[in-house]
Amino acid sequence: MKEIIKKLNELKKEKNAIILAHIYQLPEIHDIADFVGDSLDLSKKAVQTNADVIVFCGVHFMAETASILNPNKKVLIPAIDAGCPMADMITAEKLKEFKSQYKNPVVVAYVNTSAAVKAESDICCTSSNAVNVVKSVADNKSDIIFIPDRNLGNYVQKTSGVKMNIWNGFCPTHNNLILPEYALNAKEEHPQAEVLVHPECRPEVISSADHIMSTGVMCRYVEKSTAKEFIIGTETGILYKLKKDNPDKNFYPVSSFAVCPNMKKITLAKVLDTLTNMKNIVSVPDDIRQKAYIPILKMLEINAQG
Ligand code: 13P
Ligand code: SF4
């Protein structure tokens, strides 16, 4: 392990590379990353960096977003097969078909979508800025379409009061593995704990929480909070960062088997192999890139919540 880390540090200098990692990555990836964050913060970091090479430890749509924002940089993903099943629940063709059913469609696309789907959308959002993004496009004339996550969509609709036409997608990890009865059990076991839940969870899980937050906002909230115990309703990879940053606080997952198998495909050995051989370059065809860039840029102009 030490050998790999030493080699990676040398390669990073030699190639002017930066390692970005999503919060759901394995602990050893957190430890070698230059920045660990949620999908919005990772997009921002990808814009700000002066590095020539971005090694993106996350799932494919995240690396693709970094590549769309940085056409002149090389974006590498250590596991080329790390996809997002929720992103795969809508295609550009299906979206075109859905749009054709409305008179004035305005598409808000969660970043968990392919570049081709973003190219057919008007504005992107992440779980940390979705409410502000939807409010920014709401008017009386538009038919707002929200894709692909029904749970985030329903939460945003309820919070913003903006009526939307929501695609029926979901995250298998949050929707199927974090169940309402687990949240109730955790609350019974830890009655003093604050309950923080990701908006990709089911509505019944969301309604049992004290706060609904993206992963990055959760991390910042816990640091500031005076509470000592937290019940966490999201993918379990976040627990390593929470504990590392807050050793005096305790964290209990709603579900200890809420694991995203795609996020866990990236290992230290794969990161080393990718950077050594400059492989798994993520690139987007120029015509799609130019169209997909616009909704991402519009999103970055909207202030994130929290
Ligand atoms: P965040 O925006 O909180 O990083 O969530 C991304 C994601 O894929 C959650 O499953
Ligand atoms: Fe996709 Fe769910 Fe994994 Fe996030 S946790 S990357 S939404 S499958």
- Residue 152 corresponds to which tokens in the numbers above? 């985030």
Residue 292 and residue 165 share a domain = yes
**200 Cα: distance to centroid of ligand 1 (angstroms):** 8
Total domains present in the chain: 3
**Is residue 258 in a domain?**
no
**Is residue 146 in a domain?**
yes
The answer to whether residue 306 scores a pLDDT higher than 50 is no
Residue 278 and residue 222 share a domain = no
The per-residue pLDDT for 302 is: 83
The per-residue pLDDT for 303 is: 60
**Is residue 25 in a domain?**
yes
Mutate to test the pocket of ligand 1, among 84, 127, 238 (most ligand atoms within 8 A of CB): 127
Residue 103 and residue 159 share a domain = yes
Residue 122 and residue 58 share a domain = no
Residue 164 and residue 238 share a domain = no
Q: Confirm or reject: Cβ of 149 under 6 Å from ligand 1.
A: no
**111 Cα: distance to centroid of ligand 1 (angstroms):** 9
| 37: CATH | 3.40.50.10800
Residue 183 and residue 141 share a domain = no
Closest by CA to 212, choosing from 225, 226, 202, 224, is 202
Mutate to test the pocket of ligand 1, among 200, 213, 219 (most ligand atoms within 8 A of CB): 200
**Is residue 182 in a domain?**
yes
Residue 149 and residue 293 share a domain = yes
Phi, psi (5° rounding) for residue 88?
A: -75, -5
**Section 125-129 average pLDDT:** 93
**Is residue 57 in a domain?**
yes
Nearest CA to ligand 2 atom 1: 84
3-state SS of the chain is CHHHHHHHHHHHHHHCEEEEEECCCCHHHHHHCCEEECHHHHHHHHHHCCCCEEEEECCHHHHHHHHHHCCCCEEECCCCCCCCCCHHHCCHHHHHHHHCCCCCEEEEEECCCCHHHHCCCCEEECCCCHHHHHHHHCCCCCEEEEECEHHHHHHHHHHHCCCCEECCECCHHHHHHCCHHHHHHHHHHCCCCEEEECCCCCHHHHHCCCEECCHHHHHHHHHHCCCCEEEEECCCCHHHHHHHHCCCCEEEECCCCCCCCCHHHCCHHHHHHHHHHCCCECCCCHHHHHHHHHHHHHHHCCCCCC
**Section 191-205 average pLDDT:** 98
The per-residue pLDDT for 1 is: 79
Task: Report long-range pairs for 96-99 (Cβ below 8 Å, ≥24 apart).
Answer: 96/120, 98/145, 98/147, 98/165, 98/167, 99/145
Residue 299 and residue 165 share a domain = yes
Q: Confirm or reject: Cβ of 113 under 6 Å from ligand 1.
A: no
Residue 78 and residue 91 share a domain = no
Nearest CA to ligand 1 atom 2: 39
Cα 230 to chain center, whole Å?
Answer: 21
Say if residues 23 and 38 touch (Cβ distance below 8 Å). Answer: yes
Parent domain of 59: 2-83+263-283
The answer to whether residue 79 scores a pLDDT higher than 80 is yes
The per-residue pLDDT for 304 is: 46
Residue 132 and residue 77 share a domain = no
Closest by CA to 293, choosing from 71, 28, 22, 9, is 71
Q: Confirm or reject: Cβ of 25 under 6 Å from ligand 1.
A: no
Residue 55 and residue 187 share a domain = no
**263 Cα: distance to centroid of ligand 2 (angstroms):** 8
**Section 293-306 average pLDDT:** 80
**Is residue 222 in a domain?**
yes
Nearest CA to ligand 2 atom 8: 84
The per-residue pLDDT for 2 is: 86
Q: pLDDT, tens digit, for every residue of 247-274?
A: 999 999 999 999 999 999 999 999 999 9
**Section 152-170 average pLDDT:** 97
The answer to whether residue 203 scores a pLDDT higher than 70 is yes
Nearest CA to ligand 2 atom 2: 171
**Is residue 119 in a domain?**
yes
pLDDT band at 44 (very low <50, low <70, confident <90, very high): confident
Ligand at minimal distance from the CA of 83 is 2
Pocket around ligand 2: residues whose beta carbon is below 6 Å from it? 59, 84-86, 112, 171-174, 200, 235, 260, 262-263
Residue 292 and residue 159 share a domain = yes
Q: Confirm or reject: Cβ of 200 under 6 Å from ligand 1.
A: yes
The per-residue pLDDT for 305 is: 42
